[in-house]
Each structure stands twice: as structure tokens, then as C-alpha cells.
């Protein structure tokens, strides 16, 4: 007599790194030469004046920075991305002539959007 043996499905172990991985589709950004040459945000700088901005994020990849930038722009903020010399993409909001104005806006962003941030100079 032959007996039928049913096999249980085998579960493969999941690597620990897979639990921390974030799946993101790559974002393709195509810019023309003209858009790179024109300043995206024109601000008249006065001699000796410092401009302040609110930094809300810093990322190693441009895609993550652009994602946060678009999210903030949809909410009505003047968000933009800058790149440091060490290829860190910083997400910043607005430009202010006075530090006090930037601090007030930073507090509103912290309470309303629940984003950690700080005021820095441009």
C-alpha cells in the first residue's frame, strides 16, 4: 500500500535588513540647460545682510529630498532642496530677512507638521 504524504509549505527566513528596507521607485528628473542657468528663487541680497531659512530634512539621496520637498509644496510651503559640498541634499523652507520671523515659522511647522527643524543661514 502506498500512503500519501502531504508536504507543508516551507517558509523561507526573511533577512533582518529586509525589515528596515524602504521600497521606493526611482524618480527621474530631467532639467533643461535653461532651467539650470536661471536661479529657481530670486532673492535680492543686500550687502552685509544674512538670509535665514528653516531646514526640515537632510538626505543622502536626491529622491528622498525631492519627495519631502513636493509634499511640503503641496501643503503650501515654499520648500526647496540645496546640496552641500558633501553631497547631502537639504530640504529647506522659505527665506527670511530676520531670524525672529524664521523662528516663529519654524515653531509653527514643528507644531502643525510634526517636523523637527532648525533655523540656519543661507
* Any domain includes 41: no
For residue 42, the model assigns a pLDDT of 44
pTM of the model: 0.60
Boundaries of domain holding 71: 49-122
Residue 96: give its domain's CATH number.
3.30.70.1070
| pLDDT tier, 50 (very low <50, low <70, confident <90, very high otherwise) | confident
Instruction: Of 33, 75, 49, give the one whose Cα is nearest residue 91.
Output: 75
* Any domain includes 42: no
* Any domain includes 40: no
Q: Taking residues 34-48, report their average pLDDT.
A: 48
Provide the sign of the torsion angle of the four alpha carbons 119, 85, 115, 77, taken in this order.
positive
For residue 26, the model assigns a pLDDT of 55
Total domain count, the chain = 1
* Any domain includes 69: yes
* Any domain includes 15: no
For residue 44, the model assigns a pLDDT of 47
Instruction: Of 69, 39, 52, 58, give the one whose Cα is nearest residue 122.
Output: 52
- DSSP three-state, residue 94: strand
| pLDDT tier, 122 (very low <50, low <70, confident <90, very high otherwise) | confident
**Chain Cα centroid distance, residue 97:** 23
* Any domain includes 58: yes
Amino acid at each position: 500500500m502506498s500512503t500519501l504524504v502531504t508536504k507543508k509549505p516551507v517558509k523561507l527566513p526573511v533577512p533582518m535588513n529586509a525589515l528596515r528596507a524602504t521600497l521606493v521607485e526611482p524618480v527621474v528628473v530631467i532639467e533643461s540647460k535653461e532651467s539650470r542657468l536661471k536661479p529657481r528663487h530670486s532673492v535680492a541680497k543686500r550687502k552685509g545682510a544674512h538670509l535665514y531659512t528653516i531646514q526640515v530634512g537632510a538626505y543622502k539621496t536626491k529622491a528622498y529630498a525631492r519627495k519631502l520637498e513636493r509634499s511640503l509644496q503641496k501643503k503650501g510651503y515654499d520648500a526647496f532642496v540645496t546640496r552641500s559640498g558633501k553631497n547631502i541634499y537639504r530640504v529647506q523652507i522659505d527665506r527670511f530677512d530676520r531670524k525672529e520671523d524664521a523662528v516663529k515659522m519654524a515653531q509653527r511647522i514643528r507644531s502643525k507638521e510634526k517636523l523637527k527643524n532648525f533655523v540656519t543661514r543661507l
